[in-house]
Amino acid sequence: MTTNILEMRSITKTFPGVKALQDVTLEVARGEIHAICGENGAGKSTLMKVLSGVYPHGTYEGDIVFENETVEFRDIRDSEAKGIVIIHQELALSPYLSIAENIFLNNEVKGPLGLIDWNRSNQEAAKLLARVGLRENPTTKVMDIGVGKQQLVEIAKALSKEVKLLILDEPTAALNDEDSAHLLDLMLHLKEQGITSIIISHKLNEIKKISDTVTVIRDGKTIETIAKADVTEERIIKDMVGRDLEHRYPDHTPHIGEEILRVENWTAHHPQDPSRVIVDNVNINVRRGEIVGIAGLMGAGRTEFAMSLFGRSYGSRISGKVFKNGAEIKTRTVSEAIENGLAYATEDRKTYGLNLIEDIKRNISMASLGKLVRGGLVNDNEEFKVANEYRTSMNIKAPTVLAKTGKLSGGNQQKVVLSKWIYSDPDVLILDEPTRGIDVGAKYEIYTIINRLAAAGKGIIVISSELPELLGICDRIYALSEGTITGELPIAEANPESLIKLMTMEKPS
Amino acid sequence: MTDKNTTLERPVSKLASSLSHIASDLGKNGIFLALIAVVVLFQILTDGILLRPQNISNLIVQNGYILILAIGMVMVIVAGHIDLSVGSVAAFIGAVSGVLIRDAGFDWWIAIIVSLIIGALVGAWQGFWIAYVGIPAFIVTLAGMLIFRGLALVVLGNTNIGSFPEGYRALGNGFLTDLFGEFDVDPFTLGIGVIAIIAFVVQQLRTRAGRKSYAQEVEPIGWFIGKLVLVSVAIFAISWALASFKGIPVTLIILAVLVLVYGIVTNRSVFGRHIYAIGGNRHAAELSGVKTKKVDFFIFVNMGFLAALAGLVFTARLNLAGPKAGDGFELEAISAAFIGGAAVQGGVGTIGGAIIGGLIIGVLNNGMSILGIGIEWQQTVKGLVLLLAVAFDVFNKRRAGGR
């Protein structure tokens, strides 16, 4: 084996109340492609942020040894100066600048007077583009090329900085098959040129295809590092999910009734690029008192499906039919969806769920102000009373309902969001990542609330990227991959392995 | 909060809660204290001229149109927009009303109604571009500022229109007085003042009783009564001052009605709540079923209507519709809203705050004029006051932890 280019030794990173990384060790050999696997929230991105200096030296414990030298990065510039470049999932390119301008941003090719030498810039950029196999004019604006090509521009940018260790965070999540294949070939090609890469990915087939070594991380800990010869999908999956599932979920005895909601042939396209199918002919149904899970990896189209269903809040060229209690309903606007008994609690509370500068009371009443109107005016005493009832029944920890929601903890914010939707008295609730960013105790409370809603005869759809959560609370689980439902499992037949297989299944072309 | 408090802790926590209530009340009403400070300052500097009956009457009449604009502006700002066109719209509507009366021979009251409708249409025009086309309000109303200034000139044909009928002039210059004959201190005006006090007290008592019946926390009784007395005395003092001058200005009546109506609209109507929801978090409001485009549209229709009303009051006061009318009104109205505590990012702001902000600007204008301070320094001082008021607000929020 060659010498290691990078060793991260006993890295521990703590956020207030959460140990994100615990004694993590990562050894990357020079010239290899090293894959890091793990569920969402396992700590992969945190580890990479520690490595690249986003979390500066001193905010974590442990040592980073790069090229046999202990390094202490204060910020991203420090790590880039050493030749470590990270390419994030969300690309960091300026859409209005040209490819060449982006490649040399903050690293400009200058002439004798300190002015930018455009001719040489474009010439150098063209050489780099040739290296990554991108046939585009360097003066083309980045906004005019697709995501796949933008990814290549990012890599060209990394090459311009004389990269020694290239880190790609879920590089193919947003790419189509062709672009993905090209990107993976490019990685192998760069390996031949002596560049070491770390790839973070969920896609097991990709990992098997290109990586020399795989490290699996779970719950902030290194589980094991597997050499290429020993890598099997089964082994990775087992490492990724193997944890104690007992006692994290309240008991739930389903009383399942008639079908309450059915979605037929639901299709939605990307809002900016209407030729891209994001949700592809989805058919699902939910019965009274049933908790139905939708499992899917990031980018599978889970949120996009829910939001396009809920008043066309996402997407373009949306088609399909929705039936409630057997009769077709329309959900063309959010208010129409609410009137027809749908509710959608977003995965991103702070951006889409709450008015953070407003109090608990006004957030709870937001979706159903009409119910509080007496004689044309909102009865604020009644509003106070209602909010107070929810504060008690949902156990929202705040001194009064006049507390601003921005000051509450994640769990209590989520309870406010749920209160808002329960008060709107829906028949079907779609809960998107209902426990994201919430501590364990509050999670249990949220699960209890979900059970209570199901027991009251409502239909519940839970979208989650945490498989144990879905397995712990659902009665039936759909798997979504690349916008299509790839399978449906009753809870008795569902297990992490079977679900991951469905979730990573590629679209039949 | 819980009823498990032991009897020993009770009085202590009650006192503490009273004190914290008063402190938070003072914090919330800091702007009101600032107004009192400014009034006291100029009362001293002007040797008592500021609060003479005639000057109080002037203060109201001179600032009426800015206050009318500030009411609409605070709603625009709460929703996260801005309106730079209100001065030009006011001029345009003033000109239109002049032409309607002089050239088209409309009765003055029909002219007023038609002018207000045109104002609302102007607002609908701007609201259309902002809400449904999605052009930022800053751009749309900047264009509106030029467009309607230009149209005012077109309508006037580059001249002034003067000498309006008396009924029209009353909007800006009229007084309600002497209904019971002539006295040194007009009993009618005082009577209105007393009615206002009674209405205020009854409304406060009812609100308090309502909150109590829902087991909500109410402010300490002493503090509550203190505030009632304070406000009642202030209303009585103002009505006494007005009664011993010319009576109640019509402008004040218009303002009082607007403050009442818009206070209820912003606080208690679904539309008003939606404005705050949009300003606080547009995405969350949308996903809660708020029809954000419609709300945006009507905010601007309303602003157009109020700008038209301000234009009419101003024209009536000068008894002249001129092309330069309303110059800089937008800036005073925007300043009033921000001094009154509206947040630049939207979501925060009240009608009451905007009125007090407008009054602070008015007192500064009036006081400095009495002192003979030149326009150059008046501008400078007003600019600094705006900057400091908002800086104070930002500082306060940061100290409170914010986000």
Walk along chain A (509 residues) and give the pLDDT tens digit of each residue.
Answer: 458 899 999 999 887 656 788 899 999 999 999 999 887 667 888 898 899 888 998 889 999 999 989 999 998 888 988 999 998 877 788 888 999 999 998 888 888 888 888 889 999 999 999 988 888 899 999 888 887 888 889 999 988 888 899 999 888 776 777 788 888 999 999 999 889 999 988 777 788 889 999 999 888 889 899 988 888 877 887 787 765 445 678 888 888 999 999 999 999 998 888 888 899 999 999 999 999 999 988 778 899 999 999 998 888 899 999 999 999 999 999 999 999 999 999 988 888 999 999 999 999 999 999 999 998 899 989 999 999 999 999 988 888 899 899 888 778 899 999 999 999 999 999 999 998 777 666 788 899 999 999 999 999 999 987 888 899 899 999 999 889 999 999 999 998 888 888 888 876 55
**pLDDT computed for residue B400 by the predictor:** 55
- Say which CATH number the domain at A220 has: 3.40.50.300
Q: Do B214 and A381 touch (CB under 8 A)?
A: yes
**pLDDT computed for residue B402 by the predictor:** 40
Can you read off the two tokens belonging to residue B359? 């009054």
**pLDDT computed for residue B363 by the predictor:** 94
Q: Which of B44, B285, B213, B159 shows the shortest CA–CA distance to A366? A: B285
Q: Which of B217, B267, B284 sits opposite A355 (nearest CB)?
A: B284
- List, in order, residues 6 or more apart from A497 with CB less than 8 Å away: A234, A237, A238, A241
Nearest-by-CA chain A residue for B264:
A377
State the amino acid at position B341 in one-letter form: G
Q: Do B289 and A376 touch (CB under 8 A)?
A: no
**What crossing angle do the helices spanning B166-173 and B53-78 adopt, rounded to 10°?**
90
Residues A129 and A228 in one domain: yes
The mean per-residue pLDDT over the stretch B154-178 comes to 86
Is residue B98 within 8 A of residue B315, CB to CB? The reply is: yes
A241, A262, A297: which is the final residue of a domain?
A241
Question: Can you tell me the ipTM of this complex?
Answer: 0.85
**pLDDT computed for residue B183 by the predictor:** 75
Residues A94 and A12 in one domain: yes
pLDDT digits (tens, 9 = 90+) for B54-104: 999 999 999 999 999 999 999 999 999 999 999 999 999 999 999 999 888
Q: Do A310 and B213 touch (CB under 8 A)?
A: no
The mean per-residue pLDDT over the stretch B48-59 comes to 90
The kind and range of the H/E element at A362 are helix A360-365
Q: Do B1 and A380 touch (CB under 8 A)?
A: no
**pLDDT computed for residue B44 by the predictor:** 94
Percent of chain A with pLDDT over 70: 96
Q: Measured between CB atoms, does B292 come within 8 Å of chain A?
A: no
Question: In whole angstroms, what is the distance from residue A61 CA to residue A11 CA?
Answer: 5
Question: In whole angstroms, what is the distance from residue A365 CA to residue A384 CA?
Answer: 9
**pLDDT computed for residue A440 by the predictor:** 64
**pLDDT computed for residue B8 by the predictor:** 41
**DSSP string covering B148-207, please?**
HHHHHHHHHTTS-EE---HHHHHHHH-EE--BTB--SS-HHHHHHHHHHHHHHHHHHHHH
Question: In whole angstroms, what is the distance from residue A240 CA to residue A468 CA?
Answer: 11
Question: In whole angstroms, what is the distance from residue B121 CA to residue A420 CA?
Answer: 36
Going by DSSP bridges, is the β-strand pair A373-374/A377-378 parallel, antiparallel, or unpaired? antiparallel
* Strands of the sheet with A259-269, listed across from one edge: A277-287, A259-269, A316-324, A327-329
Q: Do A310 and B287 touch (CB under 8 A)?
A: yes
Q: Do A352 and B287 touch (CB under 8 A)?
A: yes
Q: Which of A204, A157, A148, A153 shows the shortest CA–CA distance to A180? A: A148
Phi, psi values for residue B107, rounded to 5°: -65, 150
The mean per-residue pLDDT over the stretch B124-149 comes to 96
Question: In whole angstroms, what is the distance from residue A279 CA to residue A294 CA?
Answer: 13
Q: Do B281 and A354 touch (CB under 8 A)?
A: yes
CA of B400 vs chain A CAs: smallest distance (Å): 11
Nearest-by-CA chain B residue for A345:
B287
CA of A415 vs chain B CAs: smallest distance (Å): 15
Residues A96 and A136 in one domain: yes
- Chain A residue numbers with beta carbons less than 8 Å from the beta carbon of B1 are 399-400
- Chain B residue numbers with beta carbons less than 8 Å from the beta carbon of A425 are none
Is residue A465 within 8 A of residue A503, CB to CB? The reply is: no
**DSSP string covering B117-156, please?**
HHHHHHHHHHHIIIIII---HHHHHHHHHHHHHHHHHHHH
Quick check: B125 pLDDT over 90? yes
Q: Measured between CB atoms, does B270 come within 8 Å of chain A?
A: yes
Question: In whole angstroms, what is the distance from residue A343 CA to residue A418 CA?
Answer: 9
Best of B213, B267, B287, B345 to substitute, by most chain A Cβ atoms within 10 angstroms, is B287
**pLDDT computed for residue B7 by the predictor:** 40
Q: Measured between CB atoms, does A425 come within 8 Å of chain B?
A: no
- Chain B residue numbers with beta carbons less than 8 Å from the beta carbon of A370 are 270
Q: Measured between CB atoms, does A376 come within 8 Å of chain B?
A: yes
User: Which B-chain residues 329-388 have CB contacts (< 8 A) with chain A?
Assistant: 343, 347-348
pLDDT digits (tens, 9 = 90+) for B272-320: 999 999 999 999 999 999 999 999 999 999 999 999 999 999 999 999 9
CA of A259 vs chain B CAs: smallest distance (Å): 25
Q: What is the DSSP letter of B211?
A: H
- Chain A residue numbers with beta carbons less than 8 Å from the beta carbon of B264 are 377
Quick check: B257 pLDDT over 90? yes
Residues A49 and A128 in one domain: yes
Q: What angle do CA B373, B376, B379 make, to 5 degrees?
A: 95
The mean per-residue pLDDT over the stretch B161-190 comes to 83
Q: Which of A306, A361, A362, A360 shows the shortest CA–CA distance to A334? A: A306
CA of A366 vs chain B CAs: smallest distance (Å): 6
The kind and range of the H/E element at B295 are helix B292-318
CA of B374 vs chain A CAs: smallest distance (Å): 41
Number of domains in chain A: 3
**pLDDT computed for residue A179 by the predictor:** 82
> Distance of CA A328 to CAs A292, A321, A344, Å?
20, 7, 19
Q: Which of B1, B211, B283 sits opposite A352 (nearest CB)?
A: B283
Q: Which of B211, B217, B287 sits opposite A381 (nearest CB)?
A: B211
- List, in order, residues 6 or more apart from A205 with CB less than 8 Å away: A233, A504, A506
Phi, psi values for residue A275, rounded to 5°: -85, -15
Is residue A504 within 8 A of residue A481, CB to CB? The reply is: yes
Nearest-by-CA chain A residue for B397:
A357
> Distance of CA A300 to CAs A296, A371, A485, A486, B164, Å?
6, 37, 10, 11, 70
Nearest-by-CA chain B residue for A363:
B277
- Chain B residue numbers with beta carbons less than 8 Å from the beta carbon of A365 are 273
CA of B336 vs chain A CAs: smallest distance (Å): 22
Q: Do B269 and A377 touch (CB under 8 A)?
A: yes
A425, A456, A482: which is the final residue of a domain?
A425
Residues A53 and A193 in one domain: yes
Residues A317 and A259 in one domain: yes
Q: Do B273 and A381 touch (CB under 8 A)?
A: no
Q: What angle do CA A197, A201, A205 make, to 5 degrees?
A: 100
For residue A89, count CB atoms less than 10 angstroms from its CB and return exposed for 0-12, middle for 13-18, buried for 19 or more: middle
Nearest-by-CA chain B residue for A378:
B268
Phi-psi region of A356 (alpha: psi -120 to 50; beta: other; left: phi over 0): alpha
In total, the C-beta contacts within 8 angstroms joining chain A to chain B are: 91
Q: Which of B276, B284, B286 sits opposite A354 (nearest CB)?
A: B284
**What crossing angle do the helices spanning B53-78 and B86-102 adopt, rounded to 10°?**
120
Give the long-range contacts of residues A321-325, CB within 8 A, separation 24 or more.
A321/A263, A321/A264, A321/A265, A321/A266, A322/A261, A322/A262, A322/A263, A322/A264, A322/A266, A323/A261, A323/A262, A323/A263, A323/A264, A324/A260, A324/A261, A324/A427, A324/A428, A325/A258, A325/A259, A325/A260
Q: Measured between CB atoms, does B7 come within 8 Å of chain A?
A: no
**pLDDT computed for residue A299 by the predictor:** 78
Q: Do A358 and B401 touch (CB under 8 A)?
A: no
Q: What residues does each domain of chain B span?
A: 63-177+246-338
Residues A110 and A46 in one domain: yes
- What sign does the CA torsion over B141, B145, B150, B154 have? positive
**pLDDT computed for residue A473 by the predictor:** 92
Q: Do B269 and A376 touch (CB under 8 A)?
A: yes
Q: Do A407 and B401 touch (CB under 8 A)?
A: yes
Q: Which of A67, A80, A48 shows the shortest CA–CA distance to A162? A: A80
Is residue A219 within 8 A of residue A42, CB to CB? The reply is: yes
- What sign does the CA torsion over A379, A384, A385, A389 have? positive
Quick check: B11 pLDDT over 60? no
Give the long-range contacts of residues B267-274, CB within 8 A, separation 24 or more.
B267/A380, B268/A377, B268/A378, B268/A380, B269/A376, B269/A377, B269/A378, B270/A369, B270/A370, B270/A373, B270/A378, B271/B295, B271/B298, B273/A362, B273/A365, B273/A366, B273/A369, B273/A378, B274/A369
Q: What is the DSSP letter of A250?
A: -
State the amino acid at position A395 in one-letter form: N
Buried b (16+ CB within 10 A) or exposed e, A270-307: beeeeeebbbbebebbbbbbbbbbbbbbebbbbbbbbb
Can you read off the two tokens belonging to residue A382? 């009644």
**DSSP string covering B233-248, please?**
HHHHHHHHHHHHTT-E
**pLDDT computed for residue A24 by the predictor:** 92
Nearest-by-CA chain A residue for B346:
A357
Best of A346, A347, A350, A358 to substitute, by most chain B Cβ atoms within 10 angstroms, is A358
- Chain B residue numbers with beta carbons less than 8 Å from the beta carbon of A354 are 281, 284
Q: Which of A358, A377, A378 sits opposite B280 (nearest CB)?
A: A358
Percent of chain A with pLDDT over 90: 48
Query: What number of other Cβ atoms are within 10 A of residue B87's Cβ?
Result: 27
Query: SS3 of A413, please?
Result: helix
Task: Name the residue range of residue A367's domain.
Answer: 349-425
Q: Which of A497, A170, A450 shows the shortest CA–CA distance to A293? A: A450
Quick check: B43 pLDDT over 90? yes
Is residue B314 within 8 A of residue B333, CB to CB? The reply is: no
Quick check: B399 pLDDT over 90? no
Question: In whole angstroms, what is the distance from residue B128 CA to residue B118 CA?
Answer: 15
Nearest-by-CA chain B residue for A306:
B287
3-state helix, strand, coil split of chain A in percent (to 5) is: 35, 30, 35
Is residue B208 within 8 A of residue B218, CB to CB? The reply is: yes
Q: Which of B112, B72, B56, B119 shows the shortest CA–CA distance to B92? A: B119
The mean per-residue pLDDT over the stretch B133-144 comes to 96
**pLDDT computed for residue A496 by the predictor:** 85
Q: Do A400 and B217 touch (CB under 8 A)?
A: yes
Is residue A395 within 8 A of residue A445, CB to CB? The reply is: yes
Is residue B311 within 8 A of residue B89, CB to CB? The reply is: yes
A425, A459, A491: which is the final residue of a domain?
A425
Residue recorded with tokens 């009192």: B36
Q: Do B347 and A377 touch (CB under 8 A)?
A: no
Residues A97 and A114 in one domain: yes
- Chain B residue numbers with beta carbons less than 8 Å from the beta carbon of A399 are 1
Q: Measured between CB atoms, does B216 come within 8 Å of chain A?
A: yes
For residue B304, count CB atoms less than 10 angstroms from its CB and return exposed for 0-12, middle for 13-18, buried for 19 or more: buried
Tally the C-alpha atoms within 13 A of residue A312's C-alpha that lie toward its C-beta: 15
Percent of chain B with pLDDT over 70: 91
- Chain A residue numbers with beta carbons less than 8 Å from the beta carbon of B79 are none
